[in-house]
Amino acid sequence: MYIGNVSNDEVANVLLKKGLDAASERSKAISDNLANVNTAGYKRKYVTFEESLKDSVYNLELKTDDEKHIKIGSNYGQIETKTDSSNSMREDGNNVDMDTEIVNQAANTLMYSALVNQMNSRLSMERYVISGK
């Protein structure tokens, strides 16, 4: 029995889950930004995931704790919430641009939906293979 494809599927599922987690965290950050659009001195938050994933995508491999155990590495695509410390054009020091945040929220919603559709397709294929229906 060839296990290579199973392992690749498991890695893909882990990465899809991380993508969903990142989109969820990004949605929270954008919501915080929009809620604080009029708060003096507030600095916008943003989530990084894709950059970290790009850095590690070519190094995907199964990690082992013991030669008898196989574990998918969880260090690929770290999700981090960061604060944008760039200067503001506003006098109150707030650097949130409502229009940009709304566009970011729309793009994030599309990304989340695409990831959910991909995950659902994978689950449907697995159900079909198992049940034959």
Burial class (CB in 10 A: 0-12, 13-18, 19+), 72: middle
Who's near 114: CB < 8 A, 6+ residues apart?
none
Picking from 34-38, 54-58, 121-125, which range would have the lowest pLDDT averaged per residue?
A: 54-58
**Which of the two residues, 69 and 75, has the higher pLDDT score?**
75
pLDDT in tens, 8-50: 677 788 889 999 999 999 999 999 999 999 999 999 999 999 8
- Per-residue pLDDT for 129 more than 80? yes
> Residues 77-90: pLDDT tens digits?
789 999 999 888 88
Determine the pLDDT at residue 89: 81
